[in-house]
């Protein structure tokens, strides 16, 4: 240790703090995608939804001065974009993954287009909760500055895990996602359930986007998200469509994302771009590890095409 | 061409034309909402893409890489894969081209250019074949893995051009070393468009023949149509998927090679301008048919070429082209629902009683 510096411990603390701070968008997007995929559809366009949520949330906060209103608007913008996805996918012979790619291009394009005037003005940020008051170390204190959205996301993960198992809504959603035949025989309206599943997922992804622009990093520009939305979709596979595992996996991804900046903070600036790519390498490695060439994955909705 | 084949082609042309018109109407509504006259916007789109020789040349210069990146989606799609890794394969191909090019100082022109193009194609081919192997042997979804590989390719390129292969003497722009000046590829005869266009067209035509007229292509179509049928027929499925992925990736890598040898002379952020993503759209517009890609790439090249003029004339953000492309993509996918629905294109409608 040099000069009161925490040295390598600083890196560890920064990665843990970063995991908490960075994981929230992953968490919201992966919970949203879990809902969508449980209904039997894949929305690969959540990256576009995330960026659109970030832009609309930031823009709302700049104009009204109300960051929480921004969060709400971001969710609605996400729900609206996903509604387009859901409606197009309701048409016959339309590939949901391809529509997701189109939504990814359209959503990011629209966000960059409409968000151009908001690059310079600064918006009020969402407030912190200081849970590190007990520690004297500024690093620990800053690692434990937690946003309310993180806690909401955590609660939501527990709630969704419970609701998917124990409520009638959860049962309908899972039936539609597992077998169109069974759902049809039970008289459920498959199209409507999937539209609702996709729209709800889009709302959550939009909220995740507002966290990026209104809390961390807390700014709006075109480089704000670089694939977090996409990685969250991959994370759902790794988490086996389980909301609580989505929470754990989001923390791991958050930590990987925080690695580059944490190393930079102790003066290791070489290979910055390679450390920056750590989450992509991690995602790919986890996909390779958790996929199986022969059988459908445990927990995978039967009608989802992404796990086969 | 058989009667049904002709009907299918006409159906695709009609549906695509309708999709273009619908997209233009939607885009017109969008710019009207922003306070512009849509007719002015259409006129500038035309002016910037096909109205004058200089705009046509710019359109074709944009079309060249699009043809090749579109193949990166179209060829694996015939085997039933949805690969979207064209952006990454282009970047990897461009970097490989630079690495080989700097070693070839003093080499004869044809030898040097051939070796650089091969390097780009092989690098891009292996990049996408890796995703194909992950799918076949590990069950990893190829759409997600190729998208991740895009981000990884771009990160690796930035790592290289900011350090190991950076040209420190170019102060204004972060870039790699340059390839030797004598190995730069020039323009075609008659038009001011680089040779990548000819290579793109020829590659599309060759792959059209391979996919449509050979036993291999027929086998791939069986596989793409029904994997179980291909299994029953005893086709070497894994090998076919890997070959398709390699060919697609090689095409995108070749695009990167020509962006380096004919346009920039080095690798830099200028390789990451969305040719890979626009290529996916071209592939879907062409219904994964390599010959149709030539035409569709030229049309989308026109959209890309007029983007700059559109932005300057109406003071629009640079994301305008992306909005238009995304809109077109969604309309085209939705238009898939119309196939087989229009009676005029069914053989039965033309049968005389």
What number is the average pLDDT over the span A61-70? 95
Query: Are residues B144 and A233, on separate chains, in Cβ contact within 8 Å?
Result: yes
Q: Measure the CA angle with vertex A51, ends A48 and A52; round to 5°.
A: 85
Averaging pLDDT over each range in A12-16, A116-120, A253-257, B60-64, which range is the top one? B60-64
Show the tokens assigned to B105. Answer: 């100082």
Q: For residue A20, give how far its alpha carbon lies from the nearest alpha carbon of chain B (Å).
A: 23
pLDDT of B200 strictly over 50: yes
Over chain A, what is the mean pLDDT? 89
State phi, psi for A135 to the nearest 5 degrees: -100, 145
Q: Are B148 and A284 inside 8 Å of each other by CB?
A: yes
Position A3 scores a pLDDT of: 38
pLDDT higher than threshold 50 for residue A2: no
Indicate if the pLDDT at residue B137 is higher than 50.
yes
Residue B17 included in any domain: no
pLDDT of residue A151: 93
Tens of pLDDT along A251-285? Answer: 998 888 888 777 777 777 778 888 888 889 999 99
In a domain, B46, yes or no: no
The DSSP string of A246-269 is HHHHHHHHHHHHHHHHHHHHTT--
Domain A24-124+146-293 coded CATH 1.10.3470: yes
Range of the domain at B176: 67-297
Separation CA A290–CA A287 (nearest Å): 5
Residue A147 backbone dihedrals phi, psi, to 5 degrees: -95, 150
- How close is the nearest chain B Cα to the Cα of A72, in Å? 24
Q: At B352, is the pLDDT very low, low, confident or very high (cuts 50, 70, 90)? A: low
> A102–B158: do the CB atoms touch at under 8 Å?
no
Q: Alpha-carbon torsion A17, A279, B176, B164, what sign?
A: positive
Instruction: Report yes or no: A78 and A231 within 8 Å, Cβ to Cβ.
Output: no
Mean pLDDT value of segment B194-211: 97
Nearest-Cα distance to chain A for B154, in Å, is: 9
- A95 to chain B: nearest residue by CA? B333
Bridge partner list, B166: B176
d(CA B30, CA B44): 16
Confidence of residue B1 (pLDDT cuts 50, 70, 90): very low
Q: Which of A178-182, A221-225, B324-328 has the lowest mean pLDDT?
A: A221-225
Model confidence at A156: pLDDT above 80: yes
Beta bridge partners of A147: A128
A1 pLDDT band, cuts 50/70/90, is very low
Could you give the percent of chain A with pLDDT greater than 90? 58
**CA B180 and chain centroid, separation:** 27
B319 and A116: CB-CB below 8 Å?
A: yes
Q: How far apart are CA B282 and CA B84, in angstroms?
A: 12
Residue, of A221 and B342, whose pLDDT is higher: A221
Helices (H), chain B: 3-33, 38-46, 53-78, 86-103, 109-133, 142-161, 196-213, 215-225, 227-232, 237-258, 275-285, 290-314, 320-335
| Residue B23 belongs to some domain of the structure | no
**Most A CBs within 10 Å, among B139, B146, B159, to test the A interface:** B139
For chain A, percent of residues with pLDDT exceeding 70: 96
3-state DSSP call for residue B134?
A: helix
Q: Write down the domain spans for chain A.
A: 24-124+146-293
pLDDT at A5: 59
Mean pLDDT of B157-166: 93
Q: Which of the pair, B2 or B166, is modelled with greater confidence?
A: B166
Mean pLDDT of B272-277: 93
**Contact B342/A at CB under 8 A:** no
Residues in a beta bridge with B298: none
In this complex, do B138 and A291 lie within 8 Å of one another by their Cβ atoms? yes
Task: Give B338→chain A minimum CA distance, Å.
Answer: 9
Domain for residue B121, yes or no? yes
Q: Does residue B31 sit within a domain?
A: no
* Average pLDDT for chain B: 93
B78 in Cβ contact with B288 (< 8 Å): yes
Closest CB from B151, B318, B327 relative to A227 = B151
- The answer to whether the Cβ–Cβ distance between A306 and B144 falls below 8 Å is yes
Burial class (CB in 10 A: 0-12, 13-18, 19+), B232: exposed
Helices A148-166 and A7-38: angle between axes, nearest 10 degrees: 40
The yes-or-no verdict on residue A154 having pLDDT over 70 is yes
In a domain? residue B167? yes
Lowest average pLDDT, out of A81-85, A111-115, B10-14, B125-129, goes to: B10-14
Q: What are phi and psi of B170, to 5 degrees?
A: -90, 105
Interface test with A, best of B317, B318, B327, B341 (most A CBs within 10 A): B317
Partners of residue A272 in chain B, C-beta under 8 Å? 159, 162
User: Do the chains contact at B317 and A116, CB–CB below 8 Å?
Assistant: yes
| pLDDT confidence of residue A4 | 45
Which one of A42, A46, A98 would you mutate to disrupt binding with B, by most B Cβ within 10 Å of its Cβ? A98
Nearest C-alpha of chain A: how many angstroms from B330? 6
Residue B122, domain member (yes or no): yes
- pLDDT > 70? residue A135: yes
On whether residue B342 sits in a domain, the answer given is no
């Amino acid at each position: 240790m040099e000069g009161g510096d925490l040295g390598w411990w600083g890196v560890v603390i920064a990665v843990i703090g970063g995991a908490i701070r960075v994981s929230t968008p992953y968490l919201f997007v992966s919970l949203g995608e879990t809902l969508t995929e449980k209904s039997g559809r894949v929305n690969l366009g959540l990256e576009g939804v995330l960026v659109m949520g970030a832009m609309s949330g930031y823009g709302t906060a700049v104009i009204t001065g109300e960051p929480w209103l921004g969060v709400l608007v971001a969710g609605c913008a996400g729900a609206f974009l996903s509604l387009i996805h859901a409606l197009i996918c309701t048409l016959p012979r339309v590939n949901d993954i391809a529509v997701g790619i189109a939504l990814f291009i359209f959503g990011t394009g629209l966000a960059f287009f409409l968000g151009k005037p908001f690059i310079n003005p600064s918006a009020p940020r969402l407030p912190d909760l200081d849970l590190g008051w007990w520690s004297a170390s500024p690093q620990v204190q800053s690692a434990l500055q937690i946003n309310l959205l993180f806690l909401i996301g955590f609660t939501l993960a527990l709630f969704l895990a419970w609701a998917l198992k124990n409520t009638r809504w959860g049962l309908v959603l899972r039936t539609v996602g597992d077998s169109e035949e069974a759902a049809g025989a039970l008289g459920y309206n498959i199209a409507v359930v999937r539209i609702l599943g996709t729209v709800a997922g889009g709302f959550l992804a939009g909220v995740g986007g507002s966290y990026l622009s209104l809390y961390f990093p807390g700014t709006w520009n075109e480089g704000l998200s670089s694939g977090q939305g996409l990685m969250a979709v991959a994370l759902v596979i790794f988490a086996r469509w389980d909301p609580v595992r989505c929470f754990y996996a989001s923390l791991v991804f958050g930590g990987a994302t925080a690695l580059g900046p944490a190393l930079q903070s102790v003066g290791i600036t070489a290979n910055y771009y390679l450390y920056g790519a750590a989450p992509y390498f991690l995602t790919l490695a986890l996909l390779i590890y958790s996929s199986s060439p022969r059988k459908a994955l445990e927990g995978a909705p039967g009608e989802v095409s992404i796990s086969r | 061409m058989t009667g049904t084949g002709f009907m299918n082609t006409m159906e695709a042309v009609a549906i695509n034309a309708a999709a273009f018109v619908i997209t233009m109407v939607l885009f017109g509504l969008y710019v009207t909402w922003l306070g512009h006259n849509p007719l002015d916007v259409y006129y500038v789109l035309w002016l910037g893409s096909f109205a004058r020789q200089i705009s046509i040349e710019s359109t074709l210069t944009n079309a060249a890489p699009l043809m090749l990146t579109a193949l990166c989606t179209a060829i694996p799609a015939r085997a039933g894969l949805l690969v979207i890794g064209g952006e990454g394969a282009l970047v990897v191909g461009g970097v490989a081209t630079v690495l080989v090019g700097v070693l070839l100082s003093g080499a004869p022109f044809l030898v040097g250019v051939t070796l650089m193009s091969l390097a780009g194609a092989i690098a891009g081919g292996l990049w996408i074949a890796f995703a194909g192997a992950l799918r076949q042997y590990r069950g990893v979804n190829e759409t997600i893995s190729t998208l991740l590989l895009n981000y990884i390719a771009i990160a690796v390129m930035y790592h290289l051009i900011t350090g190991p292969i950076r040209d420190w003497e170019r102060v204004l722009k972060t870039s790699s070393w340059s390839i030797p000046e004598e190995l730069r590829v020039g323009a075609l005869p008659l038009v001011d468009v680089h040779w990548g266009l000819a290579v793109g067209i020829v590659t599309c035509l060759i792959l059209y023949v391979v996919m449509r007229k050979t036993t291999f292509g027929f086998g791939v179509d069986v596989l793409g149509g029904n994997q179980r049928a291909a299994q029953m027929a005893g086709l070497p499925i894994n090998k076919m998927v890997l070959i398709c992925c390699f060919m697609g990736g090689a095409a995108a890598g070749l695009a990167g090679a020509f962006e380096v040898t004919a346009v920039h002379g080095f690798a830099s952020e200028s390789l990451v301008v969305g040719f890979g993503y626009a290529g996916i759209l071209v592939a879907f517009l062409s219904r994964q048919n390599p010959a149709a890609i030539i035409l569709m790439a030229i049309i989308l090249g026109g959209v890309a070429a007029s983007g700059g003029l559109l932005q300057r004339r109406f003071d629009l953000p640079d994301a305008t082209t992306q909005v238009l492309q995304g809109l077109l993509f969604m309309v085209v996918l939705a238009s898939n629902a119309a196939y087989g629905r229009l009676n005029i294109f069914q053989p039965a409608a033309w049968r005389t009683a």
